[in-house]
Amino acid sequence: MNEKQINHFVDSYMRTYIFAFKEVNQVIEQVTLDGKNISVEQFFLLRELTKKEGMSATELSNSLNVNKSAVSAKIRNLEDKGFLLRMNNPDDRRAVMLHISEKGNSIFNLCETEMKNLVYTWLLQLGDADAELFMNLYDKVIDSVVMTQARGKKG
Question: Quick one: DSSP state of residue 33?
Answer: B
Does residue 138 register a pLDDT over 90?
no
Instruction: Give me the mean pLDDT over the 72-83 stretch.
Output: 96
Instruction: List, in order of start, the domains of the chain with CATH numbers.
Output: 3-154 (1.10.10.10)
Contact 69, 61 (CB under 8 A): no
Render pLDDT for 48-72 as a digit per residue (tens, 0 to 9). Answer: 999 988 999 999 999 898 999 999 9
C-alpha to C-alpha distance for 128 and 123, rounded to whole angstroms? 7
Contact 29, 37 (CB under 8 A): yes
Which pLDDT does position 151 carry in this prediction?
A: 66
